[in-house]
């Protein structure tokens, strides 16, 4: 089946328009070129639908009281903290040892670490074994689609980024934090500082970044909450899409747990790119002038391929 020029242009304009919509949403923005090549751009048309049919306001931070089902987590924060700190002491909250966590791969370079509790279908076996009370609490709330313990060491930060999928919202519950304004998150430029036993809800598809300018490690409960939608059909679609993505990005805490196809592909591509980048760096050092020439040539090839797809 071949596409007409009008159909191709429609697809291209839909992608460009929705990506610009995502890019211009909010005050804090990624550089334009980065936004168009960022993984969040792949979901831009879908995310635009999520924003249009969202039953919650389009703003960086949301009123947590509108999600009363999450009270059980805040009310039991000390129980959750005790299990989290046991895992921390035993070294279970850690980076992906096999580079097979596509969603958070860049965070590990900053010292960020995690232990998954649940990921979009059911709890991980290791979580059920090692922190059963927290798993039971999380599993009692149907709209908690994903959950983990997340750690950020003192003196570290996470660079500005936006999460790619608008079908969910982000919930943080402080467990063991510096209790300081110097350990904070910026969501669309607006600041929130974590405190033990306090929680916050925000839209992670706004540009956000983190700074822990203290000497103490921050440990929180980190959850993906299903975005409430105003349309039943869109709710069903979002649940189906979320389920597919959840299976494709299934993570692991221990080696014997299942890994989704996207994470497997990420691990393979990371291994390949590490080897390839080593070769490129060596070639760049030996041929710096040729490297400078090749970059615009490759850009021209990409543009040429797009033009050929449209008009060829």
| Model pLDDT for residues 237-292, shown as the tens digit of each residue | 999 999 999 999 999 999 999 988 888 887 887 676 666 666 666 767 777 777 67
| Residue owning tokens 């221990």 | 254
CA distance 117 to 146: 7
Q: What does the angle CA 136 – CA 101 – CA 91 come to, to the nearest 5 degrees? A: 60
Axis-axis angle for helices 288-311, 5-24 (nearest 10): 120
Q: Judge contact between 172 and 222, C-beta under 8 A.
A: yes
The DSSP H or E segment spanning 187 is strand 183-187
Q: What is the CA radius of gyration of the chain?
A: 21
> How confident is the model at residue 309, as a pLDDT?
56
- The mean pLDDT of the chain is 89
Query: Once rounded to an integer, what is the mean pLDDT over residues 16-35?
Result: 88
Residue 46 CB neighbour total at 10 angstroms:
16
DSSP code of 103?
Answer: G
> How confident is the model at residue 278, as a pLDDT?
62
Q: What does the angle CA 153 – CA 155 – CA 157 come to, to the nearest 5 degrees? A: 80
Q: Judge contact between 133 and 83, C-beta under 8 A.
A: yes
> How confident is the model at residue 2, as a pLDDT?
57
């Amino acid at each position: 089946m071949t596409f007409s020029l009008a159909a191709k242009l429609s697809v291209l304009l839909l992608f460009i328009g929705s990506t610009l919509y995502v890019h211009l949403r909010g005050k804090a923005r990624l550089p334009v070129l980065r936004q168009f090549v960022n993984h969040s751009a792949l979901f831009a048309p879908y995310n635009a639908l999520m924003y249009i049919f969202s039953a919650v306001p389009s703003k960086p931070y949301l009123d947590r009281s509108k999600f009363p089902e999450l009270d059980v987590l805040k009310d039991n924060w000390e129980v959750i903290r005790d299990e989290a700190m046991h895992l921390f002491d035993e070294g279970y909250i850690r980076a992906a040892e096999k580079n097979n966590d596509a969603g958070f791969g860049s965070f590990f370079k900053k010292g960020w670490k995690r232990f998954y509790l649940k990921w979009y279908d059911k709890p991980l076996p290791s979580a059920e074994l090692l922190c059963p009370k927290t798993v039971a609490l999380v599993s009692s709330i149907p709209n908690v689609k994903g959950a983990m313990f997340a750690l950020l060491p003192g003196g570290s930060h996470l660079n500005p980024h936006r999460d790619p999928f608008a079908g969910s919202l982000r919930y943080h519950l402080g467990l063991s934090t510096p209790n300081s304004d110097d350990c904070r998150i910026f969501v669309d430029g607006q600041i929130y500082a974590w405190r033990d036993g306090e929680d916050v809800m925000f839209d992670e598809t706004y540009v956000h970044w983190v700074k822990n300018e203290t000497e103490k490690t921050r440990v929180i409960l980190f959850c993906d909450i299903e975005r409430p939608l105003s349309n039943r059909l869109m709710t069903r679609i979002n649940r189906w899409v979320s389920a597919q993505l959840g299976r494709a990005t299934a993570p692991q805490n221990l080696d014997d747990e299942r890994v989704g196809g996207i994470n497997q592909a990420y691990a393979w591509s990371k291994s390949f790119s590490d080897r390839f980048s080593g070769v490129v760096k060596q070639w760049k050092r030996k041929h710096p002038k040729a490297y400078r020439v090749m970059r615009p040539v490759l850009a021209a090839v990409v543009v040429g391929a797009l033009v050929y797809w449209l008009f060829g």
